Chain A
Amino acid sequence: MTRAHTQVNMTGSNLDNPNPVVFELAQLPKRTYDPSNLAEEMESQRDDIDPLEVFDMIRKINDPEHPLTLEQLKVTQYENIKVDDENSYVNVRFTPTIPHCSMATLIGLCIRVKLLRSLPSRFKVDIQITPGTHSQEEAVNKQLNDKERVAAALENNNLLSLVNNCISNSD
């Protein structure tokens, strides 16, 4: 198979998915603010986190291969974020653009690092591939949730700069 324009990604190899589908951004639930509750909210000791807030943290992470956000590629979706604030727990599912995407681990790592830096430290975070959307689902999930391997990966300067590039525009 020949490609008209062979694109090369940041890691120097050919793209896994040269022509990804770009989606219209989904409509998200609107936040309603009640001004009378404002004082109460500001006084609140606990920094309550909801799924919309978590989605805001990760929606603008860049895809490692394309100048597009994970939201534009429907890799991250609001519906795939579960938050249990009371128990300080966040679960994020992400959907690789193709089932053999070799970037799946890197994308998951970007989401993990972004949440590590943005969420209060009390949160436990699980990151998983949306079930049935990747051929190596189990292996990728296991690696992303092994904190020792994540810690080791983030001490690798090449990998860290790849991750930092992907998440640099997400704030």
Chain B
Amino acid sequence: MSATLKNVAVSEGHTDRVWSLSWSPSGSLLASCGGDKTIRLWKLKDDNSLECIHTCIDTHERTIRHVCWSPSGQYLAAASFDSTASVWKKVNNNGEIALEMLARLEGHENEVKSVSWDASGSLLATCSRDKSVWIWDMDEDEEFNCVAVLHGHSQDVKAVKWHPSKEILFSSSYDDTIKAWEDDEDDWYCSHTLTGHTSTVWDVSFNSDGSKMVSCSDDNNLIIWDTKVIGDGPKQVCTLSGYHTRTIFSVDWSEEGYIASAGADDSIHIFREDGPGDSSEDKKVSFSQTSVERKAHGGDVNCVTWRPAKREDGTILLASCGDDNLIKLWALEISSDVQIMVKFRFQKPPYMIMVTAIHMVEVLWLSNHC
């Protein structure tokens, strides 16, 4: 199958680079943040455009680096270079949706880079340039207590991400590693250190059942990890090299199995795991690029994120943001009947090349000297 991106909307509003995007779990709202120190809330309209319905200003003194919705869609967490994280509650005032600040999480020594909610929605992780990862517990009164301060990374921690179903936290760092953190009767410890990347690991993402993870790096590669056998630690199963030409800042794995990656080469790449019989005969896991958008933004692409739910008409949407201050929406156009190249046969003289495609007639090309 081929799957290509079609740009369906461009949204202006931010006055500086946009760093991060997060869809609400229902896919009706998109939160964005960036160098202009604002958080913006966008409503997805029926025609796949975004309308800015709320802007939070004057809360963080410096860049807001990352935003993340809780699984319930009731809370939004934000990480800022001002060394704090904030938690916001979604409120509905006579039909007007807005965000009200619930808590400010202080403790990190310098820039907070990323925030992530666990599957239950009660634990929130934060990480910072101070090399530490903190885990916060939200109680029934919506108050936050720090339950763990995790040391282990030797450098700036770029991203934190909870496993989609298990209580395991993954963190990625400027020290080129990914660490897995688990608790043993409320004592959090580093259970695994994943090595493989040769430079900063910027982001990680999981497939829908959490059996695989993908990581992206300043080494321009994506690595796919098998996370099923957590006892022995996640194992590298595949490296996607030679696609991106500069740092990859963001990666997101959709429920439908598509991996989107984006970075400093202004491009967005889409990958998908090959099905049985697609290519490899030795049953090794392999991935293929299904499409690439080389000039996705007029500058670095900082974040890509799939809408968590298909639209009613089946459209799969991807949101991206970049150094050009823009947010873009893309529809994934999947078509099984335009893929060329299933079989390639060289005939005997007069040198015909035959190409067979799914749902298409055979195509015959004649070589130039017969």
Contacts and interface: CB of A to CB of B under 8 A. Distances in A.
Contacts of A121: 298-299
Interface in A117-157: 121-122, 124, 142, 145-149, 151-152, 155
A142 B298 CA distance: 24
Q: Is the interface of B mostly helix, strand, loop or mixed?
A: loop
Nearest to A143: B174
B246 interface: yes
B246 A124 contact: yes
B156 A149 contact: yes
Contact of A146 (B63, B200, B265, B299): B200
Interface string A50-77: 0000000000000000000000000000
B252 to A, nearest CB: 18
Interface string B52-89: 00000000001101000000000000000100000000
Contact of B63 (A122, A142, A152): A152
B113 interface: yes
Contacts, number: 34
Interface residues of B, number: 22
Interface in B145-182: 156, 158, 174
A61 B156 CA distance: 30
Contacts of A145: 218
Given A121-B299, A146-B174, A155 B200 contact: no
Contacts of B246: 124
B129 to A, nearest CB: 7
A47 B246 CA distance: 23
Given A124-B264, A147-B264, A151-B63, 17 more contacts: A121-B299, A124-B265, A142-B199, A142-B200, A145-B218, A146-B174, A146-B218, A147-B300, A149-B129, A151-B17, A151-B35, A151-B81, A152-B62, A152-B110, A152-B111, A155-B62, A155-B63
7 contacts: A122-B298, A124-B246, A142-B174, A152-B62, A152-B129, A155-B63, A155-B81
9 residue pairs, one from A and one from B, having the closest CB atoms: A155-B62, A152-B111, A152-B81, A155-B81, A155-B63, A151-B63, A121-B299, A146-B200, A124-B246
